[in-house]
Copies of this chain bind each other. A is one copy, B any other.
Amino acid sequence: MKDVLEIGGQLLQSRLFLGTGKFSANAVIPEVVAACGAQVVTVALRRIDLQYPEENVASYIPQGCIIMPNTSGARNAAEAVRIARLAQAAGYGNWIKVEVIADNRYLLPDNYETIKTTETLAAEGFIVLPYMSPDLAAAKRMVEAGAAAVMPLGAPIGSNRGLKTKELIRILIEELPVPVIVDAGLGRPSEAAEAMELGAAAVLVNTAIATAGEPVLMGSAFRQAVEAGRKGYLARPGAIRREGTASSPLTGFLQE
C-alpha cells in the first residue's frame, strides 16, 4: 500500500507528528522519536536556544526529521510572525506551526489572530500549519490564507482528555481541501486511532507520550495506533447495526 501524506511538497510516510515540550529530559527524545517514527517534530523556541544551539531541544532531534518550530508564547499575530521569522533566521527552515494563545487557563487558540499570522507567513514562503479551534468558517479562511494543513484541537493542550470535538472535526475533514491534523488533547492511543478512522490526515501528540510512565513504549503505542486507524479508514469499515447478526450458523449444527 502506497499511502503517503503530502504537505508543503514533502512526502511523509508517518502520520504521527511529535511535540517535544514536556519530556522530563531532552535526552529521551531521540529514543522516543525512533519509537514513534515521527518525521515531523515540533519545538518551542526559547530566546536562549538561538544563542546556545547546542543545548537546544532541536539538537536532540534526529537527522532527517522535519523540525517544525511553533510560535508558542505568542499572544497575537505580530508576536507570532516575529517568532517565526526569528526561527527561520536561526536556520530552522520554513515549516512553522502557528500557535497564538490568549487564554491562560485552557490555552485555547485565537483563530482570528491565527488567520492573520497564516496570511503573513504563507506570503513569505513559510509552510504554515495553524493550531486552531475547530470552526469550519475559520478553517476555510486559514486555507484561503495559505495554510498547508489545519490543526484543530481534540481537547485543551496537555489535558489528555481525548477527541472531544469529534463532531466538528468530522466536518472539517469532509469540507476542507487541505489535510486536517488533530493536535492537542489526545491522551490514549485509541483516541489517535479514532481520529484517523474519522479521516484525519495525521495527529500531533506530545503530552500523552511525555507524561506516560514509559514514554518510549507509549511512543511505540501511538505509532501503531495511528497506523491502525489509518488502515481502518482505508479498509472501509462495515455497517454498524442495531441488532445482532450471527457470525456463525446458529441452527446449523444439531438440526442438520
Contacts and interface: CB of A to CB of B under 8 A. Distances in A.
Interface of A: 1, 19, 21-22, 44-48, 70, 72-74, 79, 82-83, 99, 101-113, 133, 135-138, 141, 155-161, 164-168, 171, 175, 187-191, 193-194, 197, 206-208, 210-215, 217-218, 220-225, 227-232, 234-256
Contacts of A246: 21, 72, 107, 157-158
Contacts of A106: 136, 171, 175, 243-244
A240 B230 CA distance: 25
Nearest to A234: B217
Contacts of A243: 105-106, 156, 159
A76 to B, nearest CB: 11
A69 to B, nearest CB: 10
Q: How often does this chain occur in the complex, in copies?
A: 4
A27 to B, nearest CB: 18
A1 B235 contact: no
Nearest to A221: B231
A103 B191 CA distance: 28
A110 to B, nearest CB: 4
Contacts of A109: 137
A160 B243 CA distance: 10
| Max count, chain B CB within 10 A of own CB: residue among A101, A133, A137, A175 | A137
A241 B136 contact: no
Contact of A189 (B157, B208, B229, B245): B229
Contacts of A104: 250
Contact of A212 (B48, B72, B193, B237): B237
A254 B79 contact: yes
Contacts of A212: 235-238
Contact of A228 (B19, B47, B207, B222): B222
A25 to B, nearest CB: 15
